[in-house]
Amino acid sequence: MTIQQEVESILAALGVPAAATTKGELTVRTPITGEVIAQIPTITAEAAQKAIAQAHAAYLEWRNVPAPRRGELIRILGEELRANIEPLGRLVTIETGKLLSEGHGEVQEMIDICTFAAGLSRQLAGLTVPSERSKHRMMETWHPLGVVGVISAFNFPVAVWSWNAALALVCGDAVVWKPSEKTPLTALATQAIFERAAKKFGNIPVGLATLLIGDAKVGEQLVDSPLIPLVSATGSTAMGRAVAPKLAARFAKAILELGGNNAAIVAPTADLDLTLRAIAFSAMGTAGQRCTTLRRLIVHESVYDKLVPQLKKVYGSVVVGDPGAQGTLVGPLIDERSFNAMQKSLEEARSAGATITGGERVFTANPGTANPEAFYVRPALVEISSQAEVVKRETFAPILYVLKYTGFTDALALHNDVPQGLSSSIFTMNLREAELFLSATGSDCGIANVNIGTSGAEIGGAFGGEKETGGGRESGSDAWKQYMRRATNTINYGTDLPLAQGVSFDIS
């Protein structure tokens, strides 16, 4: 079976009509071979405007449905996803080039957030606060917010939608989704799965969860629409810089998940065997195309000469190739642009005096050998003496910069001396170092780990980061609060009208 035939059969199994993927102006390629696997129609500006208005109308209805009942829709969605983990996971692999187990893992993240959100639907609780006034009660109530705009990136083409949609829908919001132009097939498949869940649930308002496939202009429509009080956008810092001021100008809320430049400190007491395995997954997994990918390694001088040669060995031997094949650990880059950006950064690092292992294009294990449109690379290990400009920039490819440190304070300073602040790790058996790393004066990131890598976060925690990463938090913990409007209510059940702060205003 060719990839094309496999895509057709997966889409048919998931309930996406062939007509939706065979004719249209958007060309979809699989990075596995570079071949075209679909042609998708894109939405016009007028149709997008209409869809946003319809989503708003859906929200007006949906907000009246009791939250636990809304949770039932998400519970069913989770079941549908569970039943389709194989085909949807495989489609994620075909469209993004992730390993099969990573494709499945992505769908598992969707299932997990559905479980979380279904439970949450019975816990959207506010505080009751003691009132300073006699016979008064003060409480807070969480109300649905409106239409949530979701703009997602190619690398987690469906999980990011689910983090937002599962929460937004139990919170009583409607969702309008603009996926990456590189991954519309998994979006169409997810939408079809959602529609099936909605059918099983019963009546849901038309347009409650809507998919808009189109270019950046569609994203701009979401950002500019007065009917959308919250936009959750995942992508580059450049994208965030364009989006944030526009949202601020109309006082809309933003959840921004932008670039990361994640580092790990390897301290003298680190368990080097565990550290090596953690680095390998975090730095090379998903071919370096996670926002949580490990990009900088800060190694103590006493373990440098032990760890780095071992790493070089792993970098040299790791199997690069078909992400669907047994044994492969590094699949393709998403496209040529990504390959060129990687080469450019390596060139820049070389000029800055770095020693580079790997980084070259790989053809031998490449199922797309015959097709020059597929871009496989050997992950690059870049030993560099200081944090040159290129190290401070996020290159969305498997490049790991390795730096040496002497004092722990210097390591921390290096760690935080980049514009981004998503994820971070320390490998140490020293309690003081570990706790310092997690303290107010330690890692300045939204995620800080001890003895595990920077990537592969669970959905139960709040996910996101500081500084140029954008400050947004998605997924677990109390991230749901952003998808709701908080009202503080004060109720007087007495016959007097005492004023707060002891103010008197007697009109008698």
Cα–Cα dist 137/133, whole Å: 8
Residue corresponding to tokens 């032990």? 306
Give the residue with the Cβ less far from ligand UN1, 62 or 156: 156
Which positions lie near ligand UN1, rule CB under 6 A? 109, 155-156, 234, 290-292, 455-457
d(C-alpha 382, C-alpha 400), whole Å: 6
Residue nearest to ligand UN1 as judged by C-beta position: 457
Q: Is 468 a catalytic residue?
A: no
Tell me which of 109, 257, 383, 433 is the catalytic residue. Answer: 257
- Cα separation, 359 vs 379, in Å, equals 5
Q: Which of 289, 232, 292 is nearest to 260 (CA)?
A: 292
How much is the CA Rg of the chain, to the nearest whole Å? 25
Q: Minimal distance in Å, beta carbon 235 to ligand UN1?
A: 9
> Cβ distance 260 to 467 under 8 Å?
no
The 10 Å Cβ neighbour count of residue 293 is: 30
Of 105 and 205, the one with the shorter C-beta distance to ligand UN1 is: 105
- DSSP codes of every residue in 27-56: EEE-TTT--EEEEE----HHHHHHHHHHHH
Residue 180 neighbours by CB under 8 Å, 6+ apart: 152, 153, 154, 157
Minimum Å gap between C-beta 110 and ligand UN1 is 11
Across the strands, what pairs with 320?
330
Sign of the alpha-carbon dihedral angle for 335, 339, 344, 348: positive
**Taking the complex as a whole, how short is the minimal distance between the CB of residue 177 and ligand UN1, in angstroms?**
15
**Tokens 């690379």 belong to which residue?**
377
Residue nearer to ligand UN1 on the CB measure, 110 or 299: 110
Structure tokens at 256: 């921004």
Listing DSSP states for 212-277 in one string gives ----HHHHHHHHH-TT-SEEEEES-HHHHHHHHHHHHHTT-EEEEE----EEEEE-TT--HHHHHH
**Minimum CB separation from ligand UN1 for residue 455, in Å?**
4
Which residues have C-beta within 8 Å of that of residue 66, sequence separation ≥ 6?
A: none
Nearest distance from C-beta of residue 159 to ligand UN1, angstroms: 7
Q: Closest approach of Cβ 459 to ligand UN1, in Å?
A: 7
Residue 146 or 465 with smaller CB distance to ligand UN1: 465
229 vs 456, beta carbon nearer ligand UN1: 456
- C-beta closer to ligand UN1: residue 151 or 384: 151
Half-sphere exposure of 320 (CA within 13 A, CB side): 27
Closest approach, Cβ 376 to ligand UN1, in A, equals 20
Cβ neighbour number for residue 384 with a 10 Å cutoff: 20
- Catalytic machinery residues: 257
